[in-house]
Amino acid sequence: MPNESPATAQRAGPSHAGGAAIYADQCAGCHTFDGDGIARLLPALKGSPFVQQRQSTSLLRVVLNGMRAVARDHTQTGPGMLAFGWKLSGAQVADVVTFIR
């Protein structure tokens, strides 16, 4: 989970360290370093049923293709997730998703 430091992740293995570095560079700006997100603005990853579901296929699709949520009564637009499939290799996507999960 994103609440561990990159140094701790590095001790856990290469893909964990790579995933931690990618998370810090590409994800933490929106989802925060500890995975809490920003209330009513950007979703939390920590403890998210979407992130923790048995199969990671949907999470992989979101990282690769991005996603747009619908607007709600209290917001004018829904939050969006940028696509990273153009920017990250398949191995990098696998590493960051492994780290997040």
Tens-digit pLDDT profile for residues 12-68:
555 567 899 999 999 999 999 999 998 877 889 999 998 999 999 999 999 999 988
Higher-confidence residue of 80 and 93: namely 93
User: In one letter, which amino acid is 82?
Assistant: L
Q: What is the CATH number of domain 6-100?
A: 1.10.760.10
Instruction: Give the pLDDT mean for 79-100.
Output: 92
Check residue 66 and give left, alpha or beta (phi > 0: left; psi -120 to 50: alpha): left
pTM (predicted TM-score): 0.75
**Which string of b and e fits 37-57 if b means at least 16 CB within 10 Å?**
beeeebbbbbebeebeeeebe
Higher-confidence residue of 72 and 95: namely 95
| Domain residue extents for the chain | 6-100
Residue 10 has pLDDT above 70, yes or no: no
